[in-house]
Amino acid sequence: MIWIYLLVIFALGAAAYLGGRELARRRAVGARPHSRPGQHGAYALIWVAVPALVVVILSGVFSAPLERQLIAVDTPDSVTALEPFRRQAFFADAQRVGRGQPSLQIWERPLAEQLPIEARRMVSIERTLQWGSGLAALLAAILGGLFVSTQIRPKTRARNRVEGWIWGALFVCSVVAILTTVGIIASLAFDSFRFFEKVPVFDFLFGTKWSPQIAIRADQVGSSGAFGAVPLFAGTFLIMIIAMCVAAPIGLMSAIYLSEYAGRNTRSIIKPVLEILAGVPTVVYGFFAALTVGPALRVFFNEIGLFLIGGPLDGMGQYLALVQNQMALTAGAVMGIMLIPFVSSLSDDILNAVPQSLRDGSFAMGATKSETVKRVLLPAALPGIAGALLLAVSRAIGETMIVTMAAGLAANLTLNPLDTVTTVTVQIVTLLTGDQEFNSAKTLSAFGLGLTLFLVTLLLNIIAQRIVQTYREQYD
């Protein structure tokens, strides 16, 4: 039904625009109007469409609670006597019957007799509210059209008023974005404080064992969990370092080639191909890591281990022969491949922003292109490149899918890239998957991890923006 309302509002707005424009042309005969007819048409469109949209939005927000209140007014005593869960199931079945669908449950008398009656009543209430919302929106559009028809005159500053409406809409969007961010932070902080009431902050930040298993009964095994997040921080740091070791040199070198060495035709081919990687979903990278990179690395290290077994490095050979597909090296390497276009694109833009006069001066002094890149361009672009790398680090810290599929779920405190590890984001997803009880420390620990991750990425983004801002101020 909402789509029908929107189509009608769209048609009314188009008619208001055409009518307002034509009315402005007629009334401007023999006079010098302040605004163009199209601006008067836009002003009429706003006054017709906006009130109708407001009514539709308000009806969408309040129609469901109002419908529940109206249904509860004349509810039979036999239905009112039911438990809340059974009463909701009865109303759900009545709604299904009213829509021509079969009931999901078998109800005994007198509920079976009341079911079709309540179904017809609910359908009647729903249709009444829908038609009432539509008529209210239509009435609002008509009143808006009548008002704006009296405002369309040659001296009306329609252009300024339309600009005022646009400014107001942009301001509302900005406020909504800010309030959404504030709401997310407030929700995260509230549940994090609830978690820290159950688990001390020191134990969470500096504990070395992560096992968030809280039993339902006190006599069960694992009735007290361990919430030391150091293994998660170590796994996140390890995978991030591996990813940056792959993405930073390859991305930076490709940016230097595209900026300084590649011709126009070569750049027009290589740059789009390189940036295709940025559009690949992370789940595809996860499949690539789990099905291709992981087995290839396992076979490689197993072969080395078999070669070393029986020699002076027999212990290392025994370990390498048992290496599995899931390891930090697999996740980090594939994540680094994912970050290559991110680093390359930012670094390329930063290198192109370096003034041409610096290159010309270097060439005038007899420097070669490689010497210019090494001694002029890179030092000049270093702050911007550092900011780009920090943004890539933030992206690597927040990645989930690749780590889940390629690094495993074991919270091991290790810096060995051949071991299975897990990260903060993977544990957040694991803790919040399925039906959870949001009063237990196990579930609330996800919010503690989320708050920590938020603060770390926020700090990295602030540092990166400061560095980039300093760079831009220097060379703009």
Q: Tens of pLDDT along 350-402? A: 888 888 888 888 888 888 888 888 888 888 888 888 888 888 888 888 888 88
pLDDT at 435: 66
| pLDDT > 90? residue 171 | yes
Beta bridge partners of 226: 211
So what's the pLDDT on residue 221? 45
Joined together, the tokens standing for residue 7 give: 């189509």
CA distances from 425 to 50, 215, 370, 451, 462 (A): 42, 23, 41, 11, 21
User: Is the CB of residue 422 less than 8 Å from the CB of residue 400?
Assistant: no
DSSP type of residue 227:
E
Say which residue, 475 or 321, is predicted with more confidence. 321
- Other C-beta atoms closer than 10 Å to the C-beta of 453 total 21
Burial-class residue 462 by CB neighbours within 10 Å (0-12, 13-18, 19+).
exposed
Per-residue pLDDT at 210: 86
Calpha distance 402→291 (Å, rounded):
12
Residue type, 434: G
Q: CA end-to-end span of the chain, whole Å?
A: 53
Q: Check residues 223 and 331 and name the one with the higher pLDDT.
A: 331
What pLDDT, on the 0 to 100 scale, is given for residue 253?
A: 92
Residue among 337, 336, 348 nearest 256 (CA): 348
63-93 pLDDT tens trace: 878 877 877 777 777 777 777 777 788 778 7
Side chain identity, residue 78? S
Which runs of consecutive H residues, i.e. helices, occur in 322-400? 328-352, 356-364, 369-372, 378-397
CA distance 450 to 425: 8
State residue 246's pLDDT score: 93
CA dist., res. 192 & res. 185, Å (int):
10
Query: What percentage of the chain exceeds 70 in pLDDT?
Result: 95
CA distance 70 to 81: 18
Q: Work out the average pLDDT over 308-331.
A: 86
For position 29, what pLDDT does the model report? 78
3-state helix, strand, coil in the chain (%, to 5): 75, 0, 20
pLDDT at 220: 46
Q: Please state, for a pLDDT cut of 90, what percent of the chain lies above it.
A: 13
Joined together, the tokens standing for residue 322 give 């048992």
Task: Pull the structure tokens for residue 398.
Answer: 């927040």
What are the tens digits of pLDDT across the range 209-253?
A: 888 875 444 554 445 567 888 999 999 999 999 999 999 999 999
pLDDT score of 462: 84
Half-sphere exposure of 122 (CA within 13 A, CB side): 21
The reported pLDDT for the residue numbered 215 is 43
Determine the 3-state secondary structure of 133 from DSSP: helix
Which residue carries 């579930």 as its tokens? Answer: 443
Under a CB-based contact definition with an 8 Å cutoff, are residues 456 and 397 in contact?
A: yes
pLDDT at 216: 44
Average pLDDT over residues 440-458: 86
pLDDT at 5: 81
Mean pLDDT of the chain: 84
324 CB-contact burial (10 Å; exposed 0-12 / middle 13-18 / buried 19+): middle
**Integer Cα distance of 172 and 17 in angstroms:** 23
**pLDDT class of 475 with cuts at 50, 70, 90:** low
Q: What is the mean pLDDT of residues 332-339?
A: 92
Claim: this prediction has a pTM higher than 0.85: no
Residue 118: the pLDDT is 78
Cis bond upstream, residue 341 (ω within 30) = no
User: Which pLDDT score is estimated for 172?
Assistant: 92
Q: How far apart are CA 172 and CA 145, in angstroms?
A: 24
- pLDDT given at position 471: 59
